[in-house]
């Protein structure tokens, strides 16, 4: 929660003296972290009606819609007032043909109602922690969303955002599009466009040039959100395991280490963290996994949730296994390497690849013994 949302005060907001947007505008988002007190949180300055959304044991959601304003029908009169909030009270009041109270009651005009259909906001409360979130819906963004949904009405929210592997959606640009493998200028072109990627949302979340630890670790905001996203069913975190693997030929110098998670909505594996590493020793894997695990050290994740998120599948590289264990022990304060090793899962395909490599090496396995490996593990 505290990674997915950050406070953003858009133009045109009116703030109280605590910095809370009493009159939110545009795409304003306001996060109330546990322990922080904002006297007006949950309130808005305009006349409103509210409705309760999801109200479970963990969450409470309230949606607020603006009721508009009463004003005078005479040009030049500056009277404005809040309409009544009760059901049917606005119509009941207007049925009496009310006189404008402006100019201390001397205005000859009548009161009319300017309704407001676009101003909406939502409050989310996490009952256990006190975490709260205000989101104000941008009318222009709402219009764009309506047009997108109309073009592809059967797509889910995630499919609309990044496309569907088999459907008619139009997927967004790949995170690798700024510079494909070698791209005519050699694999090191990646380094030349490094800062351009940062400006375009491909953020560098870790970088080090120390010998034996040279790496650049990248992640987009969307990757971070997907990694820590909670499902609608039971508000649970992803539990399908993470796969980490090395691409050896992507760069002329160095290697691409990718950690991915499976997305049920689109039926494909998606990257959640990418690292350029200089070598393949334990220290390089350790720094990649350390950066990954530190993303789980946030107040909204319980201890058992952090441990479950750390479950990974790696290949049968001993250096990668040792790097995983070292990172787990360092980040989570685990003193038993066997406990860290239990979080590590093996991949059958990588296992068979290892057997194939060994089987083809006559210095290790004699030709007349190769058939013993063909039957598989016992």
Predicted confidence (pLDDT) per residue in 154-194, tens digit = 776 666 666 555 444 444 444 444 444 555 555 566 566 76
Domain annotation covers residue 6: no
Quote the pLDDT of residue 215.
93
Domain annotation covers residue 43: yes
Quote the pLDDT of residue 346.
64
Domain annotation covers residue 245: yes
Nearest CA to 325 among 306, 315, 304, 310?
A: 310
Cα–Cα dist 360/251, whole Å: 27
99, 23: one domain: no
Quote the pLDDT of residue 203.
87
Nearest CA to 84 among 96, 75, 76?
A: 96
User: CA 29: distance to chain centroid?
Assistant: 14
252, 321: one domain: yes
211, 335: one domain: yes
26, 36: one domain: yes
Cα–Cα dist 282/319, whole Å: 4
Q: Which domain holds residue 339?
A: 185-346
106, 74: one domain: yes
Domain annotation covers residue 296: yes
Cα–Cα dist 187/157, whole Å: 35
235, 129: one domain: no
Domain annotation covers residue 192: yes
Taking CA atoms, 373 is separated from 316, 350, 355, 356, 361, in Å, by 17, 15, 7, 9, 13
* Regions of the chain short of the pLDDT cut 70: 1-4, 54-55, 137-143, 145, 156-192, 194-195, 233-234, 315-316, 346-378
Quote the pLDDT of residue 366.
58
The count of C-alpha atoms lying within 13 angstroms of the C-alpha of 134, restricted to the half-sphere facing its C-beta, is 26
Taking CA atoms, 215 is separated from 212, 247, 248, 284, 336, in Å, by 9, 15, 15, 7, 27
Buried b (16+ CB within 10 A) or exposed e, 295-306: bbeeebbeeebb
Domain annotation covers residue 27: yes
77, 208: one domain: no
93, 204: one domain: no
pLDDT in tens, 274-285: 999 999 999 999
User: Angle at CA 364, nearest 5°, toward 363 and 368?
Assistant: 90
128, 255: one domain: no
Quote the pLDDT of residue 163.
58
Domain annotation covers residue 3: no
Domains contained in the chain, number: 3
206, 74: one domain: no
73, 35: one domain: no
Domain annotation covers residue 250: yes
Quote the pLDDT of residue 271.
93
Provide the residue count of the chain: 378
211, 239: one domain: yes
């Amino acid at each position: 929660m505290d990674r997915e949302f950050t406070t953003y005060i858009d133009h045109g907001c009116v703030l109280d003296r605590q910095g809370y947007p009493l009159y939110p505008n545009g795409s304003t988002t306001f996060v109330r972290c546990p322990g922080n007190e904002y006297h007006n949180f949950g309130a808005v300055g305009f006349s409103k009606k509210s409705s309760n959304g999801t109200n479970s044991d963990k969450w409470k959601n309230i949606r607020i819609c603006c009721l508009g304003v009463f004003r005078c029908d005479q040009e030049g009169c500056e009277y404005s007032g809040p309409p009544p909030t009760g059901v049917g009270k606005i119509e009941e009041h207007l049925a009496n043909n009310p006189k404008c109270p402006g100019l201390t009651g001397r205005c000859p005009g009548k009161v009319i109602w300017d309704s407001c259909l676009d101003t909406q906001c939502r409050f989310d409360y996490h009952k256990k922690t006190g975490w709260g979130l205000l989101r104000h819906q941008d009318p222009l963004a709402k219009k764009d969303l309506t047009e997108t949904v109309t073009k592809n009405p059967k797509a889910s929210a995630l499919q609309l955002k990044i496309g569907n592997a088999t459907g008619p959606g139009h997927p967004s640009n790949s995170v690798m599009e700024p510079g494909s493998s070698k791209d005519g200028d050699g694999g090191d072109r990646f380094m030349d466009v490094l800062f351009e990627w940062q400006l375009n949302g491909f953020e560098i979340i870790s970088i080090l040039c120390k010998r034996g630890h040279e790496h650049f670790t990248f992640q987009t905001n969307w990757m971070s959100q997907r990694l820590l996203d909670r499902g609608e069913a039971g508000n649970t975190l992803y539990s399908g395991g993470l796969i980490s693997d090395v691409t050896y030929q992507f760069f002329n110098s160095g290697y691409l280490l990718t950690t991915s998670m499976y997305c049920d909505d689109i039926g494909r594996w998606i990257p959640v963290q990418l690292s350029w590493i200089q070598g393949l020793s334990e220290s390089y894997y350790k720094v990649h996994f350390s950066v990954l695990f530190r993303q789980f050290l946030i107040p909204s994740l319980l201890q058992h949730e952090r441990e479950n998120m750390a479950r990974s599948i790696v290949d049968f590289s001993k250096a990668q296994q040792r790097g995983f264990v070292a990172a787990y022990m360092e980040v989570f304060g685990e003193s038993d390497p066997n406990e860290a090793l239990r979080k590590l899962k093996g991949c059958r395909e990588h296992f068979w690849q290892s057997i194939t490599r060994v089987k083809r090496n006559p210095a290790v396995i004699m030709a007349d013994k190769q058939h013993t490996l063909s039957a598989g593990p016992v």
